[in-house]
Amino acid sequence: MIAGERRWRAAQEIGLAQVPVIIRSASDMEVLELSLIENLQRADLNPIEEAQGYARLANEFAMRQEDIALKVGRSRAAVANAMRLLDLHPQVQVWLAQDLLSVGHAKVLLALKVPEEQLL
């Protein structure tokens, strides 16, 4: 199963005997791309996980920000802003992932061009 596992489990919980599915062949790369997109559409990712997912789509699948935005249902600006978070100092990324720092505060730190200055 490439996508829809949460829907399938929810259908099981409410006792549905049948769930409509689409069966198709996919290469290993297509499976990876589809599962990555499915995971990015989840609501429980922290901002760094989301940014890393977008970066992975860009790097491994040569997707432009516009393509990523269309695939995950976000605006191009939202994808671009998320990916910029990966320019933060690694420790700041940890704080952001642990919800010790807000995305708004992290974006302010991006204005500091020397990553070590973001720690002060």
Helix (H, G, I), strand (E, B) or coil at 43: coil
pLDDT at 9: 84
Structure tokens at 89: 């100092």
Quick check: 10 pLDDT over 90? no
The per-residue pLDDT for range 40-80, each reduced to its tens digit, is 887 789 999 999 999 999 999 999 999 999 988 899 999 99
pTM: 0.78
Give catalytic status of residue 38 as yes or no: no
List the chain domain ranges. 88-120
